Amino acid sequence: GAVVSQHPSRVICKSGTSVKIECRSLDFQATTMFWYRQFPKQSLMLMATSNEGSKATYEQGVEKDKFLINHASLTLSTLTVTSAHPEDSSFYICSASRGRIYEQYFGPGTRLTVT
């Protein structure tokens, strides 16, 4: 399958700071990228869907001003958690796809801890 990288894999930050997470599709052009949040032993919660060159579509309940998503190219999307709080601590996973109806290839995830 296709390879998707995510950086950093782990990050610890102080409350009030911002953190940027990068998601890259390494061997294919991802028209669509997805950002998920996953709590321990739970399912994937879709946060937003982004298409290259256009604004991200956020799921209900996800604050777009807090979770900034940029999909600048067909191989790179970034998620910035602004003014992070301890309740933002979670596992964030991105995935890349050729389109919404196609299979998704997931990155390895980023473990965010806000102290």
Asked if 108 touches another protein (CB under 8 A), the answer is yes
Residue 5 vs 80, nearer CB to another protein: 5
| Binding mask of the shown chain, residues 78 to 97, with x at each position contacting another protein by CB under 8 A | ---------------x-x--
Q: Cβ(84)–Cβ(21) under 8 Å?
A: no
68 binds another protein (CB under 8 A): no
Rounded Cα distance between 29 and 41, Å, is 31
Query: Does 40 contact another protein by CB under 8 A?
Result: no
* 57, 64 contact by CB (below 8 A): no
Residue pair 104/95 in contact by the 8 Å Cβ criterion: yes
Give me the residues that bind another protein (CB under 8 A), please.
1, 41-44, 46, 93, 95, 100-101, 103-109
